[in-house]
Amino acid sequence: MPAERAGYTVTMFLVDLSPSMGTTRNVELPPDANGDQHTAEITNLEYGLQFVKLKIQEMIYNGRKTDQCGVIVFGSEETDNIVNEKNGGYEHVSEYIPIGQPNASTLAKLDALEPSSVAGDPIDALVVAVETQNTYLASKKTWTRKVVLVTDGESPMETEDWEAIVQKMDTLDVWLTVVGVDFDDDELPFYEENKSSIKKANEEFLTQFASSLRTGIIGTCALALRETTKPDIKQTKSTLMGTVLRLGDTDTRPEEAFEINVKNSKCTAIARAKSWKKFAMRPMDEEDGMDEEDRQAIYAELKMRSEYHLDPNIGEDEDGVKMEVDEEDKTKALEVVEKEQLIRGFKYGSTYAPCPDGQFPKLPTRKGIDICGFFKAKNFRRELSMGEIQYIWADPGQPQQQVALSSIVQAMIQKGYMAIARWVTKDGMDPKMGVLSPVMFDKVECFLWAQMPFADDIRKYTFASLDRLINKRGELITEHPYIPTKEQQAAMDKFVDAMDLMEAGDKDEDGNRQPWFDTRLSYNPAVHRVKQAMFHCAVVTDIATNPLPPPHPELLKYFDPPKRVLKYAKDAIEECQATFKVRQVPKRVAKQRKDGHVHARYDDDEMLLLDKKPTTKTQGATQSPTQTRSAQSSPKGKAKETKPPDSETEDDESDGEMLLDRAAPFKAEHPAAKKPPSNHPLPTPARSMSPDPGRAPGRIIGAAFPLKDFRQNLESGDLVTKAVEDLGEVIKEIVVKPFAMRRKAELLECMEALRETCLKEDEIDAWNSFLKGLKTVCASSPGNSAFWSAVQTHNETLSLITKAEAKEHGGLSLILASEAEEFFS
């Protein structure tokens, strides 16, 4: 059997249109936006056509001119095929789409197919297909011939002479694939219940037929469909490129130098997803008199065009301060320049360095790989490897060169060396530096080349030491929140051991567990997902009603740690969580600031000054020479409210380790986070005398200035649910603290603001449940019944939100007016 080569193939699709194909079935659709499952009713024909369309789509996707297909339908009302024309017979078989390179209209035509009223014979169709294909390929003997038969096997078949057909197909080397709708399949597995006897017989026959062929397979449609979405690696055969491996000066001292003829080929090469084409809908002709039904939306492919223009704002602007021009003005000021007027050059600061060719003369170089020296492989710095890996082979046609390379590879392996080499791919090309690593396979030696960085490619950024912390007196500090304690280190050691993957994979033949994860089995999820999406959008007519099915599970298999490992590591993880106490710091802190002085926070001028430039500030902080400083708490930096509260919410716990953790408020990652993190209910301890919002971990509302915090959060707008919830919790906490009545007015004001927000922001349920909770809290011990009485006096503004009131604001509530009244009485 000749090896399959890409393209140079004609595939004939044979589609059964017999009445039985009109039987409907339910298929599951992917979950919609709300996560609900839906099913759709489709005919067996539509079901089977999905496979055909996916296959054709793949051809369109690959875009090979030599990958062609034709469609023949059987069970059609009319008869239109070359065998019938010549010899008669073979009725109800029609050549539906002639052989050619498929395109979108091929798919559109398939969509137009409908079950007919006459039964068709698959074997007739097969004969017609083979004949049609043979005629088409009369002068293209080397092309691969494929036939795909889609049928439900419910129609009678003429099975006489089938051996002759098999023989004919084998002579022509035709590959047959039978896709049976609801055929029994051991692999899936699937077994149809109540199978009709005719289908049973047909299935048996087709199975026998397919297996008699040299290249025939049969399978059920469901499996075939699943297989089409399975990631499939496009095998690319790397070409062998010739070059020489050189050592020494071959020009003047050739006797002491050598050249080996070698070939290089790619060992790794980044596979990228095919790029998307851009389309836009043409504006619809409104005056078109057509019915809504017939109206068409036409999407046209867009082409990219470049335009060159002069920005007059640049250049006049010599004062240095760049004027802020808003977008509209900018476009107006543009002066379009014709491409012919342009001169190439480089920028050298504000100076222009002309270079009409687009590049300066290049460094003269000579093709080949020059060995510069050897070094111990154990000193190789893996992280410096910069790109794709190449194989370097001795010329396969020259045994002496093979022996020469083999001797060097073996010598290097024995000594544990790698080579430093300089590679010029073509005379005059820019050289690359890299290392050659010797490799010994079963029967051949070669080198692997990895490109390494030039001095220019390395950025030597300085980073603060994690271990060596020096205080300002120049002494080394050994205890600091940045330095893990013995206990923490032990927890981490345990975690690393628990999360080991070396024996977390599947078992091999001997029952030994293999490592989990193998690059050779890790499909690029983006590439395959994009490909699936591209297929899908070409097959369906509307994305909104027929969204892309979920990715094949094979793509996501390495997305999470193996369940076994996580389960095993549960204790270690919990221990780490408990000992390291990592807290998320709220993101939006640039807006708030606070000085070491109590009054400073009300200093409007300074507030403004800082609010103006949040970006610069952030940048300044991250780039400031002391990360230490910003992280810890400085008077003006960002980590402002990482200070502890000194309000009555404080707790007695005081632990040096908490230095960093002090009330670093944890901001929920998702605005919609529903649960307040209850695992840290206590505010953290106080150290400083400065006021603090007193936010508990995970809260965005503090006990010190709840209303202010609340309003600020509302302004920023994205955390309303969380703000509402937190304010409620905070109020409930404050109410039961000693001296809470001093803050009565403040609390009532908070509640009014809360209620108002709930009403507006559709958080009505949150208010109602908060109020009920508050009542309970006040009534229980220690409680605060006085406060509840105060609330009751504000019947107007603080009552439960009733159905009627909610409706007024476009919301929903289940509370009746009578209930609300009773609640407050």
Exactly one of 164, 257, 333, 682 binds other proteins (CB under 8 A); which one? 257
Determine if 599 is a binding residue for other proteins (CB under 8 A).
no
CB-nearer residue toward other proteins: 141 or 443: 443
Instruction: Find all residues with CB under 8 Å of 182, minimum gap 6, and list them.
Output: 44, 152, 190, 192, 220, 221
Q: Which of 27, 198, 530, 736 binds other proteins (CB under 8 A)?
A: 530
Distance in angstroms (rounded) separating the CA atoms of residues 755 and 777: 18
Does residue 722 contact residue 668 with C-beta atoms inside 8 Å?
A: yes
The footprint of other proteins on residues 87-106 (CB under 8 A) is: 98, 100-106
Phi, psi of 202 (to 5 degrees): -65, -40
Q: C-beta of 674: minimal distance to other proteins in Å?
A: 16
- CA dist., res. 621 & res. 611, Å (int): 15
Residue list 695-734, contact with other proteins (CB under 8 A): none
Closer residue to other proteins in complex, CB, 223/371? 371
Q: Tell me phi and psi for residue 218, to 5 degrees.
A: -135, 140
Structure tokens at 535: 């297929």
Among residues 48, 58, 49, which one has the least CA distance to residue 9? 58
CB 698 within 8 A of CB 668: yes
Q: Is 298 one of the binding residues for other proteins (CB under 8 A)?
A: yes
Q: Considering all CA atoms of the chain, what is the largest pairwise distance in Å, rounded to the nearest integer?
A: 110
- Under the binding rule (CB under 8 A), the answer on residue 8 touching other proteins is no
Q: Give the residue with the Cβ less far from other proteins, 186 or 319.
A: 319
Contact predicate 599/545, CB 8 Å: no
State yes or no: residue 441 binds other proteins (CB under 8 A). Answer: yes
Closest to other proteins by CB, 612 or 807 = 612
Q: With contacts defined by CB under 8 A, name the span among 200-208, 359-367, 712-720, 746-754 that binds other proteins.
A: 359-367
Query: How far is the C-alpha of 758 from the C-alpha of 770, rounded, in Å?
Result: 11
With vertex at residue 42, the alpha carbon angle to CA 41 and CA 45, rounded to the nearest 5 degrees, is 165
At 742, phi and psi to the nearest 5? -60, -30
Selected from 217, 353, 779, 816, the binder of other proteins by CB under 8 A is 353
Question: Closer to other proteins at the Cβ: 141 or 460?
Answer: 460
Q: In the bound complex, what is the minimum distance in angstroms from residue 225's beta carbon to other proteins?
A: 20
**In terms of CB distance, is 247 or 766 closer to other proteins?**
247
**Per CB under 8 A, 787 contacts other proteins:** no
Whether 686 contacts 644, CB under 8 Å:
yes
Q: Minimal CA–CA distance to 765: which of 720, 811, 719? A: 811
Residue 227 makes contact with other proteins by CB under 8 A: no
For residue 366, the minimal CB distance to other proteins (Å) is 9
594 near other proteins (CB under 8 A): no
The pair of three-digit structure tokens given for residue 432, joined into one six-digit string? 């690359």
Residues 533-552 vs other proteins: string with x where CB under 8 A? Answer: xx--xx-xxxxxx--x--x-
Task: Using CB under 8 A, count the residues that bind other proteins.
Answer: 278
Residue 367, Ramachandran bin (φ over 0: left; ψ between -120 and 50: alpha; else beta): beta
Q: What are phi and psi of 75, to 5 degrees?
A: 85, 15
**Which is closer to other proteins, CB of 620 or CB of 717?**
620
Which 154-183 residues touch other proteins, going by CB under 8 A?
A: none
* CA–CA dist 704, 690 (Å, integer): 12
Q: Which of residues 462-491 bind other proteins (CB under 8 A)?
A: 462-474, 477, 480-485, 488-489, 491
- Contacting other proteins within 664-683 (CB under 8 A): 664
Neighbours of 622 (CB within 10 A): 10
- Is residue 377 within 8 Å of residue 416, measured between CB atoms? yes
CA–CA distance, 525 with 231 (Å, rounded to integer):
9
Residue partners of 366: CB distance under 8 A and separation at least 6: 424, 427
Question: Candidates 356-364, 707-715, 788-796, 804-812 — which segment interacts with other proteins by CB under 8 A?
Answer: 356-364
CB of 633 to other proteins, least distance (A): 6
* Nearest approach, Cβ of residue 403 and other proteins (Å): 4
Rounded least distance, CB 414 to other proteins, Å: 6
Distance CA 234, CA 6 (A): 10
**Among the candidate windows 16-24, 209-217, 377-385, 763-771, which touches other proteins by CB under 8 A?**
377-385
Shortest gap between Cβ of 158 and other proteins (angstroms)?
A: 31
**Among positive and negative, which fits the CA dihedral 745, 746, 747, 752?**
positive
Stretch that binds other proteins, among 141-149, 208-216, 611-619, 721-729 (CB under 8 A): 611-619
Q: In the window 58-77, what residues touch other proteins (CB under 8 A)?
A: 60-61, 63, 65
- Give residue for tokens 């010994």: 440
Q: Is residue 245 a contact residue for other proteins (CB under 8 A)?
A: no
Counting contacts by CB under 8 A, is residue 502 touching other proteins?
Answer: yes
Task: Give residue for tokens 């120049």.
Answer: 474
Q: How many residues does the chain have?
A: 825
- Taking the C-alpha atoms of residue 433 and residue 437, their distance in angstroms, rounded to an integer, is 13
CB 158 within 8 A of CB 120: no
Site residues for other proteins, window 106-145 (CB under 8 A)?
Answer: 106
Residues 302-341: x where in contact with other proteins by CB under 8 A, - otherwise, as a string: xxxxxxxxxx--xx---xxxx--------------x-x-x
Residue 40 binding other proteins, by CB under 8 A: no
User: 687 or 711, CB closer to other proteins?
Assistant: 687
**Window 614 to 653, contacts with other proteins (CB under 8 A):** 615-617, 619-636, 638-639, 642
Whole-angstrom distance, CA of residue 396 vs CA of residue 400: 10
In whole angstroms, how far apart are CA 315 and each of 292, 318, 319, 322? Answer: 55, 6, 10, 10
Tell whether residue 236 is a contact of other proteins (CB under 8 A): yes
Cα–Cα nearest to 10, from 121, 123, 227, 175? 175
Name the minimum Å distance from CB 32 to other proteins: 14
Tokens 């073996």, located at residue: 410
* Interacting residue with other proteins among 460, 563, 599, 675 (CB under 8 A): 460
AA identity, residue 752: E
- In the complex, what is the shortest distance from the CB of residue 421 to other proteins, in angstroms, rounded to a whole number? 9
Beta-strand runs (E) in 155-267 = 174-180, 216-220, 241-247, 258-266
Q: Does 345 bind other proteins (CB under 8 A)?
A: yes
Q: How far is the CB of 699 from other proteins (least distance, A)?
A: 15
Near other proteins by CB under 8 A: residue from 243, 757, 799, 813: 243
Of 171-179, 181-189, 353-361, 733-741, which segment contacts other proteins by CB under 8 A? 353-361
Q: Judged by CB under 8 A, which of 515, 671, 717, 782 binds other proteins?
A: 515
From candidates 92, 583, 699, 722, binder to other proteins by CB under 8 A: 583
Q: Which is nearer to other proteins, 323 or 810 (CB)?
A: 323
Q: Please say whether the beta carbons of 815 and 803 come within 8 A.
A: yes
818 binds other proteins (CB under 8 A): no
Task: Looking at residues 378 to 417 of the shown chain, list those that interact with other proteins (rule: CB under 8 A).
Answer: 379-389, 391, 393-400, 402-404, 406-408, 410-412, 414-415, 417
Closest approach of other proteins to the CB of residue 151, in Å:
26
Separation between Cα atoms, residue 189 and residue 226, nearest integer Å: 13
CA nearest 752: which of 727, 769, 777, 776?
727
Per CB under 8 A, the segment of 130-138, 188-196, 458-466, 707-715 that binds other proteins is 458-466
Binding of other proteins by 598 (CB under 8 A) = no
One of 134, 265, 712, 792 touching other proteins (CB under 8 A): 265
Query: Pick from 569, 720, 730, 798: which binds other proteins (CB under 8 A)?
Result: 569
How far is it, in rounded angstroms, from Cα 181 to Cα 44? 7
